[in-house]
Chains A and B, each alone.
Chain A
Amino acid sequence: MGNVIEQIEQQIARLSTKAVKKNTGHIRTVADGVAKIDGLSEVMYNEMVQFPGGTIGIALNLEQDEVGCVVLGDVSQLKEGDEVTTTGKLLSVPVGKGLLGRVVDALGRPVDGKGPIEAAETYPVEKIAPGIMARKSVTQPLFTGIMAIDSMIPIGRGQRELIIGDRGTGKTTICIDTIINQARINKVGIASGNKDFRPVYSIYVAVGQKQSNVVRTLSALEAAGALEFTIIVAATAADNPANQYLAPFSGAAIGEWFMENGMDALIVYDDLSKHAVAYRQISLILKRPSGREAYPGDVFYLHSRLLERAARLDGKGSLTALPVIETQAGDVSAYIPTNVISITDGQIFLETDLFNQGIRPAVSVGLSVSRVGSAAQIKVTKQVGGKLKGELAQFRELAAFAQFGSDLDAKTKATLERGARIVELFKQPQLNPLAIEVQASILWALQKGYFDSIEVKNIVQAANSFREYLTARRDSLLTLIRTKAALAPEIETDLKAAADEWKATFAAKA
């Protein structure tokens, strides 16, 4: 027994006797995930505060008499009069490659039951975006694997491209496809042993989504073998608004680590409409003045400071952002959609009508744009897809007129025929991104008229057949297109020979 006492005494003796200064306060009220605190006279804006039981909060409102804190944990254990202490630290999350393949919450804590995360570093959740001089213009492509997007609305590394549309139009599918495509490219690139190859790591931030949806996304990524290059930050509908508000910023901090350390990352914010709603909820509870649609006055700054953190840095890496916005009845002129449209470098607009017609992905070519444009395209895509957007626009215009009359001249008929084939060719099943060399080959075949003699209803089948033919029999040609990234005359000759051979076999089968 005496031995035990000695051990305790030794332990007590080892503890430092130096006094530690803490700034404290007491909970005055706690409701709806927000605590009003007396005291905390030295607390900083956005500082982490410690509640009893290890619960963390963030000081968001510094008022004359009290401090308004959002509680990032279980509020049921907190009561009036509980002591709260400042930590002197801004909210930070663990960062690094140790998070790859994991699902974390808004504070970077694992929620996938795979054990603790090994992360040597932490990054602050709120950080000023890189300045003008640190940035470099966007010139390197980031392939989504979706033909309609890669050929007409190219996305570059460091760009912010908004994905906008009504519910159930395939916004999340585009994001998941893009993540899967990055994983596929990473695997090919790493296997090639190319020293200059730069893998793209993905971060998927789920804000206010149903937990079942997050599980579905996780399963899709796992099944496609993309999870090893992906981090999921989940703040689901069951989480309190404070966590939903913080999750995109935590995801941005995780992405910034890759960017700052010379790597490329892609971040998907799914979705910022729900993020704005969570922020509105917090702001109203904190009694901040409300503005249009009851959103607080700084809701624009909320999204602009988040999206400005996506960049391509000079001499370092890049962070590409794909924010998602859900519209109501296709209204892109609502408050939050217009805000985010004006912040981003372009948008991919998904139309419900197209989706219902079976045109999937339901990309509206007229309303979608990439402000980076062809700067982020490789030469082969420019060569085969440069005129596509114009041709498709012409087709839509003529198709509207063609409904009123049957006598059409040969040129108009040809344009309509070509347009109908392009529309069919762009139909792509979900979770099936196409490699850029396959996309280029199919588009080249379209431009050279290989699909002209095939009935419109059989175009999807023909395109699949051509893709299978190329991957099974002409893999070396595809590798050549991928490595050269341009259609040199000798490659074009090989491609012509391949297309001729495929056409003969396809025609024979048909």
Chain B
Amino acid sequence: MAADKKTKTLARQLFKLSIVDGRVSADQVSGVLGWIEKHPPRHPLALLQVYQHLIATELSRSQAIISHAGPLADGVVSRIEQSMTQKYRRPITASANRDSSLLAGIRVRVGDDVYESSVAGQLAALSA
């Protein structure tokens, strides 16, 4: 079910309560979930879906997901972590996963931003 305006507004308020010092706080999130359980809103499912989406979006802004085709050299993950933290001016943690469809090179995703340095990406750009 699509969330109505009131549900979205409430979810945004709860989301704001879940942020401490610019980061998602696990304690605050469990507090919010407890409050929802005690005071069930009109559309709990819709509220939780919007809330989850907001939290997931916020968390993805602090995570660098590195996709790579071949083996990664030592220290690459930490170097990417450092440079992204510097670039976005917020603490960013990196995680790597293998993706053979890239053919070669790497792709880094931080929130909505994608840094494409893979052969698959460049071939796609050439064909466009």
Contacts and interface: CB of A to CB of B under 8 A. Distances in A.
Interface of A: 12, 15-25, 38-42, 50, 54, 64-65, 85
Contact of B114 (A12, A21, A41, A50): A21
B113 A22 contact: yes
Interface stretch (B21-29, B33-41, B94-102, B116-124): B116-124
A21 B115 CA distance: 5
B91 interface: no
B117 A19 contact: yes
Contacts of B1: none
Contact of A41 (B112, B116, B119): B112
Nearest to A39: B112
27 contacts: A12-B104, A12-B119, A15-B123, A17-B105, A19-B115, A20-B115, A20-B121, A20-B125, A21-B115, A22-B113, A22-B114, A23-B112, A23-B114, A24-B109, A24-B112, A24-B113, A25-B112, A38-B53, A38-B57, A39-B111, A39-B112, A40-B112, A41-B111, A41-B112, A64-B12, A65-B8, A65-B53
A50 B128 contact: yes
10 A-B pairs closest in CB distance: A19-B117, A39-B112, A19-B115, A41-B112, A22-B114, A15-B122, A20-B116, A24-B114, A23-B112, A24-B112
Contacts of B121: 20
A497 to B, nearest CB: 70
A54 B128 contact: yes
Most central of B57, B104, B113, B123 by chain A CB within 10 Å:
B113
A292 B61 CA distance: 43
A39 B122 CA distance: 22
Contacts of A65: 8, 53
B38 to A, nearest CB: 26
Given A23-B113, A39-B111, 11 more contacts: A12-B103, A12-B104, A15-B123, A17-B105, A20-B115, A20-B116, A22-B116, A23-B112, A39-B112, A40-B112, A42-B113
Interface of B: 8, 12, 53, 57, 103-105, 108-109, 111-117, 119, 121-123, 125, 128
A355 to B, nearest CB: 50
Contacts of B104: 12
Most central of A16, A22, A23, A54 by chain B CB within 10 Å:
A22
Dominant secondary structure of chain B at its interface with chain A: mixed
Nearest to B12: A64
A40 B122 CA distance: 21
Dominant secondary structure of chain A at its interface with chain B: mixed
B119 A15 contact: yes
B100 to A, nearest CB: 15
Contacts of B125: 20
A453 to B, nearest CB: 74
A20 B53 CA distance: 27
Nearest to B108: A19
Contacts of A15: 119, 122-123
Nearest to A18: B117
Contacts of B113: 21-24, 42
A16 B122 contact: yes
B56 to A, nearest CB: 10
A282 to B, nearest CB: 20
Contacts of A38: 53, 57
Contacts of A20: 115-117, 121, 125
A24 B121 CA distance: 14
Nearest to B105: A17
Contacts of B8: 65
Contacts of B117: 17-20
Most central of B104, B116, B128 by chain A CB within 10 Å:
B116
A16 B111 CA distance: 24
Contacts of A39: 57, 111-112
A40 to B, nearest CB: 6
A21 B84 CA distance: 13
A19 B87 CA distance: 15
A14 to B, nearest CB: 10
Contacts of B12: 64
Contacts of B105: 17
A19 B115 CA distance: 6
Contacts of A19: 108, 115-117
A24 B53 CA distance: 16
Contacts of A16: 122
A38 B104 CA distance: 28
Nearest to A43: B112
A50 B122 CA distance: 15
Contacts of B128: 50, 54
A30 to B, nearest CB: 14
Contacts of A17: 105, 117
Contacts of A21: 113-116
A27 to B, nearest CB: 14
Contacts of B53: 38, 65
A16 B53 CA distance: 36
